[in-house]
Structure 1
């Protein structure tokens, strides 16, 4: 505890200093001279959509030097305080014709109304750089990670992107957590991904296809109730600019990696065609070890087993998303797109077991080789219709999507004890999965003159999945042990209605919502005639209160009720057979867990610093937890241990996090984040062992965990950009052992060439080859220490060429399909 406490104390002193420093730089206001406000809303002339980051400059007519200014928010609104006087007011945006108000006499609060900006075609091909969006944008209700600004992820995948997102962690096996909680809901363009193996699914999408990632830790009623930890929305790139433009990216790396992708679009007055297509060939090598002490019922050592594991992964495939947006009318847009992914690969695992007796004398060596291959195809059609009734946010959106995917995996497993005289055994595994998903959604947003806003909507999610898993012997072709083979049929029907209302009173903003979800899930195990039906319907309230302390700082308090439905490997009874002494199997009888989330947040902006902090409390019932039980089987002297998820009684998490953006110099940007949490779990698990003896495991556990992240981006001489990212994950206790701390450092360099039309970048992932998951496990029959590294250090070189587009183009002509392809409701927090 000493090191975390020292770290927290140091941070407190740092922020006290920054706060004092920032206050010193604040302008001195003469209280005798009362200020007045100049406000308005800036929108795009054709689409009537708000323009975020438009620049407002106010100058005194007697002195051309600007005396005040600002930028518009996400709704296109601005509000600037000045002393009464006569001013010239200029509104500008990249590649748009500016609007200027000359000789305006401002003696009281003045609303300039709605200001429309038209595209300036003559400027579209000029390189005009006014401001560059931060890698991380901090907002009161969410954080937005802009992938295009990050050199570290060039040539990588979605998993690499998520590793750099505030509040998010990705372990060495690719499992994603938000604030340390794995019950996070992942959307792609606002639509849920229901892959049985989410970690593998995220490694199939290249980072170059991603525009940004939204982190929503406490979602409102407009979002799906699922995801106890919150929601991550991965937004893919789409066409934006007038005319024909795009970019081409080629990459190569060590271990052997190749990639080629393109993002193109062609926009006319009525139509916008866009495509994002890429090919990826990627290899990765990993390794691990497990050193175990074998114990008898009296806790005496009866032997030792040292397990060494080496893995090789190959992934190759093509992915594409192509679509067209039709401007049906100046305020009506219809977007249709088709996405297709074809991925293939191989997985080779070699595990060596060296066994020793109680006196640590060598007895024998076994090896187990798993040689597998897999292929998957995904096809999705998505359609979005947006109708803007006016330019004040009154709108209707309708979304439809249908997706189908097929995944086939098989492996040949060879097992042999060296020198035993016994022949090797050969097992084959087959895992075939087919999934179809239909999603329907409509959202209606109605703002009122007083600044309040009403929302309502419906969402239907219908998912069918068939998964057949088989383990057979080469000799007889019959299934080995019934619990290793099964056919899973999973049907999910979710219908949801929601409504919410937001309004402002002076400096307070309120948003209250209620969501109702009706769920029916069938989990059928056809081989064993085990049929499970889950029916439940629930209300999910949400409430948000925001207090604007000033234009630069605000305070928020929020509450929401969430649930986590068991999915993927949690439900699938197919047993992971890569190691025949450490097995994993899903539990089809899992129930959902329900979470009450409370969050108190604070946001403060200075000229060079943006600081966001929150304190949160989460109370979860029927939480998922993993238990390890003895099967009663042995491989040599080694007991076969089976890990499975179960529902525990309760989990309470109390935590704190902060995110800091600091720009000490124009050429130097620093983003940092820090998370800590205390988790208390209460529950027990009772089962019968192989001798029909009832065993009760006390799984009560309390653990303190923390992780931190620092990202620095600096422009060196010769206009070379250098980025350095470091992450540290602190140790934490588990119900049956302990996870040890680990760290990772990544770095990258980039340089613009060919008159800034191209960029060459070089990055190193895991610079010190230190990213290893380390753990200790203590069970009645075995005590073990483990290390595992899924991917070793990687080097990557990429080349990007831009065609008729600027490096820092603003997203000014994004398709209007609900903003971010979100498919998740309409309006924003009021105010």
Structure 2
């Protein structure tokens, strides 16, 4: 029995268990009565968005909780019995009363007393004031912004990539590339750390394998503090997966059907009793996709006998994807101050793709040449991850330590079969086998120590050990050589090892209305690369790279009022090359478009500054931010062409133009602009969430490279990347609430064009639609969405080279639609009221301190 069969059996059994447990939960449900009430202050004014927790005195499984609405009212169903009722709200003292509940009806008003001053609470974590209520999808803190996808109707039944398309300050290109403020060097974390769920090198396929329903929130960290790892010059996206804190047995199941054909079934389960919490997130599905790529190129004087060559290339790739992922774990409270956690994750992704590439070469005064390339690809990816952790509070004042260890393993098999014909006659065959294995160990220790009423020191250590093994075989047969033989240059073994040691210290404090945070991080990096191919007499390449860098961060805030503050921050970051960028010949899926690695590629560094302002009223939240990033030794993609002699189907020598793309370190890159995020509840039935990013860019740098002149002779040319300009990105989500059970959304996206001396990229826009209906007395939700209604989400660009002009068109996915059904079941829950400051025992904003996944 192979691993795929094991995963399939495991999946079916787990999903079956989901429904069995769901049925059991319903079977044990008790007869309940409907009650209602009001929360008021001492002046008898209603208190909106207060949490009301009913704790059953005899059986905690019957406990439940709710939030008051904007008028201070609440409703819920309870099992008759004796309850302790706790009421909590921002800037109010906690209140606890006891009531016997035997019959339905209104239990009256619960009174809660306001704090004497909003500033007399200990500032155990100067994270900045949370400026939006929990009912809003977007909130701002000192060092991050948090997006809640639960109100994102457009992405219901989708995946992480769909959700990211709707997150303010984040963009997803047509090829799946994620960028922040125009830069694609984004660092992804799952629950605060790199994860096997994202596979090797965080590819677009990995983003599609994480269901939207498993995501609790997304932390957008545009300028990370020293507590976070220094990688990712554009910033960090921290994906927090759901882990219920509800008592008893709770969960939800969501199923999705859509077109292009997709089916998904996912579940979130949790069980909590006493000191033990168990959770399971998992599921899987099938999805088809269609990618379209077109390039039209014009070359000048690069053939033996003709003056101009025009080539038209079209690549349509259809793929079928199967993916499953499961995460299960436990949290055990050893005592009131110590807890242990452990979790395990398994992820599998299988893909079959069929591509049809046509080449139309038009030579003046000669017959056209038509090539056709049929490609079949098979990908099999399997990943495991295990995590253990310990959290200990030394006292009730906020002194605590968190220890964690994560072991990850990921293997990927990619097989590609290529057959190419010229004017209908056989020309060549390729068989490409790529094997990649990754092993990762991450160990962490984080310590927090409050000092006095308003200050805190944080310190920590982190160890990362990562090893990638690459095994690449490329075989080819041609009309001249009928048997398959290895291509020596592209058949290789490579070993990539990296080890990072990092330590940080931060000091947070507050003086009156001024809050500040000072941090310093030191990272020592060691990278070893061993590379060997089959080229005769070519010695293996062995390189060791070692870096030691300091990364400071400074955060300042001034609080005019409780929901009105000014934010200023600075940080220094590093952009480490991806491992496969350093492998000299990592890719050979198209013999006319080659990606070349660069073993001498070095990190680039960025200094990032932000000045932001946050204001939140009852209906409006506004967060404009001015930013500036200066990057040195920037990584740019050099595109050039070479002429290769090939034996054609008539056994004649023929010149073929081959495009090469290679990453290089070059010059500087400056990004500056205004990033404006806002949410506006215009009426009770109409809400807006928007993002506008107006940014300028200024790039400097040029390099020499080998190419062909206008007569087809090899020369040394200059590639000039110098350029500047101004561009815009915007997104607007409009939510219409028809009634308490039915809402629909329209979401528009626009990205302005960008132009440099090397490339001109056109603008792009798209419109999405979503609708959601609550059914089954709140236990179910039926959703429908259409992605890219007008089928306009495509990227177009023109690239200018020494002797060519190339136009490119890419559409990652055509228009799609999906229907999803969610069912929720529960025995009891505990709803926690958000607070002005982070609970001292919470590690939610730490580097990788989310506990088990």
TM-score interval for Structure 1 and Structure 2 normalised by the shorter chain? 0.7 to 0.9
Aligned residue-pair number:
731
Work out whether 1:99 is the aligned partner of 2:96. Answer: yes
Mean Cα displacement is larger for which, 387-396 or 497-506? Answer: 387-396
Give the Cα–Cα distance (whole angstroms) in 1 for the partners of residues 822 and 204 of structure 2: 27
Could you say what secondary structure the match of 1:725 adopts? strand
Q: 1:180 aligns with which of 166, 170, 182?
A: 182
- CA 1:113 to 1:455, structure 2 compared with 1: closer, same or farther past 3 Å? closer
C-alpha deviation, 1:536, in angstroms: 1.0
Give the equivalent residue in structure 1 for 2:555.
544
- CA 1:136 to 1:708, structure 2 compared with 1: closer, same or farther past 3 Å? same
Is contact 2:94-2:112 (8 Å) kept? no
Q: 1:440 aligns with which of 431, 434, 443?
A: 443
Give the Cα–Cα distance (whole angstroms) in 1 for the partners of residues 809 and 113 of structure 2: 69
Is contact 2:301-2:309 (8 Å) kept? no
Runs of 4+ residues over 4 Å off in structure 1? 68-72, 100-114, 634-638, 805-818
Q: Which runs of 5+ in 2 are unaligned?
A: 1-37, 52-85, 98-109, 124-131, 534-538, 647-653
Give the Cα–Cα distance (whole angstroms) in 1 for the partners of residues 138 and 557 of structure 2: 22
C-alpha deviation, 1:98, in angstroms: 4.2
Q: 1:58 aligns with which of 38, 41, 49?
A: 41
Give the Cα–Cα distance (whole angstroms) in 2 for the partners of residues 512 and 427 of structure 1: 56
Give the Cα–Cα distance (whole angstroms) in 1 for the partners of residues 641 and 112 of structure 2: 83
Q: 1:676 aligns with which of 680, 694, 717?
A: 694
Could you say what secondary structure the match of 1:65 adopts? coil
Give the equivalent residue in structure 1 for 2:809.
787
Give the Cα–Cα distance (whole angstroms) in 1 for the partners of residues 169 and 154 of structure 2: 18
Could you say what secondary structure the match of 1:152 adopts? helix
Is contact 2:41-2:112 (8 Å) kept? no
Give the equivalent residue in structure 2 for 1:492.
498
C-alpha deviation, 1:477, in angstroms: 3.8
C-alpha deviation, 1:137, in angstroms: 2.2
- CA 1:70 to 1:473, structure 2 compared with 1: closer, same or farther past 3 Å? closer
TM-score by length of structure 2 reads: 0.81
- CA 1:316 to 1:671, structure 2 compared with 1: closer, same or farther past 3 Å? same
C-alpha deviation, 1:179, in angstroms: 1.0
TM-score by length of structure 1 reads: 0.83
- CA 1:755 to 1:364, structure 2 compared with 1: closer, same or farther past 3 Å? same
Could you say what secondary structure the match of 1:549 adopts? strand
Could you say what secondary structure the match of 2:233 adopts? coil
Could you say what secondary structure the match of 1:491 adopts? strand
C-alpha deviation, 1:69, in angstroms: 7.7
Give the Cα–Cα distance (whole angstroms) in 2 for the partners of residues 682 and 795 of structure 1: 43
Q: 2:459 aligns with which of 456, 459, 464?
A: 456
Q: List per-residue Cα deviations over 1:456-494 (Å, max 9, x = no partner).
A: 100011101101122112544432251x33322110100
Mean Cα displacement is larger for which, 199-208 or 550-559? Answer: 199-208
Give the Cα–Cα distance (whole angstroms) in 2 for the partners of residues 563 and 408 of structure 1: 30
Give the Cα–Cα distance (whole angstroms) in 1 for the partners of residues 114 and 714 of structure 2: 89
Is contact 1:726-1:743 (8 Å) kept? yes
Could you say what the CA RMSD is over the residues aligned between the two structures, in angstroms?
3.1
- CA 1:108 to 1:345, structure 2 compared with 1: closer, same or farther past 3 Å? closer
C-alpha deviation, 1:724, in angstroms: 1.4
Q: 1:625 aligns with which of 623, 636, 644?
A: 636
Give the equivalent residue in structure 1 for 2:600.
589
Give the equivalent residue in structure 1 for 2:468.
465
Is contact 1:143-1:166 (8 Å) kept? no
Is contact 2:378-2:414 (8 Å) kept? yes
Work out whether 1:307 is the aligned partner of 2:309. Answer: no
Is contact 1:379-1:403 (8 Å) kept? yes
Mean Cα displacement is larger for which, 747-756 or 814-823? Answer: 814-823
Give the Cα–Cα distance (whole angstroms) in 1 for the partners of residues 118 and 618 of structure 2: 25
Give the equivalent residue in structure 2 for 1:242.
247
Give the Cα–Cα distance (whole angstroms) in 1 for the partners of residues 223 and 251 of structure 2: 35
Give the equivalent residue in structure 2 for 1:567.
578
Is contact 2:257-2:263 (8 Å) kept? yes
Is contact 1:239-1:274 (8 Å) kept? yes
Q: 1:764 aligns with which of 783, 786, 791?
A: 786
Q: Which has the higher contact order (CA 8 A, sep 6+)?
A: 2
Is contact 1:222-1:824 (8 Å) kept? no
Give the Cα–Cα distance (whole angstroms) in 2 for the partners of residues 211 and 106 of structure 1: 30
Q: 1:607 aligns with which of 614, 618, 628?
A: 618
C-alpha deviation, 1:670, in angstroms: 1.1
Q: List per-residue Cα deviations over 1:59-81 (Å, max 9, x = no partner).
A: 32xxx335x88879xxxxxxxxx
C-alpha deviation, 1:669, in angstroms: 2.1
Mean Cα displacement is larger for which, 534-543 or 466-475? Answer: 466-475
Could you say what secondary structure the match of 1:424 adopts? strand
Is contact 1:705-1:730 (8 Å) kept? yes
